[in-house]
């Protein structure tokens, strides 16, 4: 024969979880404060000094952002790109080639290429993607401008479009021949 026992009655107040010590790891962690999308992000221009680039600022193009390469594998710098242009350079940054949002963004610049370049500005796409992935993207989307590869994100960080801890913010950066920043907008 089996004997049935009644369950003990549950206490009216549930037991409290144990208190954490004041010096525990969980209490020492703090969340970083988000940066608003419409403000420029602090960056370094290769000098190690944090800065925020805004329209109207002037930058020294010599060594600014380090060495990058085109989708064809040719090494270049922002200074060389500006020197080769008529009035300056438009860099649009995108997180990852061949993704829906980046394809839309790149195709908008493709579709408005003639009116934009009529102003004398050279247009370039900039991401942390590899040359191979950018070459595929350029060919597939029939893009009339070069895509710049910055896997170390030196130029991306220098113009304030780097996400922490890694990644690229979608944005536009325009610099004139004289090093004058004409636009620096993230999230557009």
Residues belonging to the active site = 102
Q: How far is CA 164 from the centre of its chain?
A: 9
46 close to 68: Cβ distance less than 8 angstroms: no
> How far apart, in Å, do the first and last CA atoms of the chain sit?
77
Q: What does the DSSP assignment read for 41-73?
A: PPEE-SSS-EE---TT-B---TTTT-EEEETT-
> Residue 8: is it exposed, middle or buried by C-beta count within 10 angstroms (0-12/13-18/19+)?
exposed
Q: Assess whether the previous peptide bond of 165 is cis (omega < 30° from 0).
A: yes
């Amino acid at each position: 024969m089996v004997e049935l026992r009644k369950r003990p009655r549950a206490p009216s107040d549930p037991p409290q979880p144990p208190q954490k010590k004041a010096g525990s790891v969980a209490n020492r962690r703090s969340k970083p404060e988000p940066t608003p999308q419409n403000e420029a992000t602090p960056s370094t221009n290769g000098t190690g000094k944090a800065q925020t680039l805004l329209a109207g600022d002037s930058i020294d193009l010599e060594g600014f952002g380090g060495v990058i390469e085109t989708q064809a594998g040719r090494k270049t710098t922002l200074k060389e790109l500006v020197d080769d242009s008529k009035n300056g350079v438009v860099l649009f940054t995108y997180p990852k080639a061949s993704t829906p949002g980046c394809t839309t963004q790149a195709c908008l610049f493709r579709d408005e290429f003639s009116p934009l370049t009529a102003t004398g500005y050279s247009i370039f796409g900039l991401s942390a993607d590899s040359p191979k992935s950018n070459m595929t993207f350029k060919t597939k989307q029939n893009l009339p401008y070069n895509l710049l590869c910055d896997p170390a994100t030196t130029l991306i960080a220098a113009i304030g479009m780097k996400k922490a801890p890694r990644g690229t913010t979608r944005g536009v950066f325009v610099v004139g021949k004289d090093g004058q920043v004409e636009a620096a907008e993230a999230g557009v």
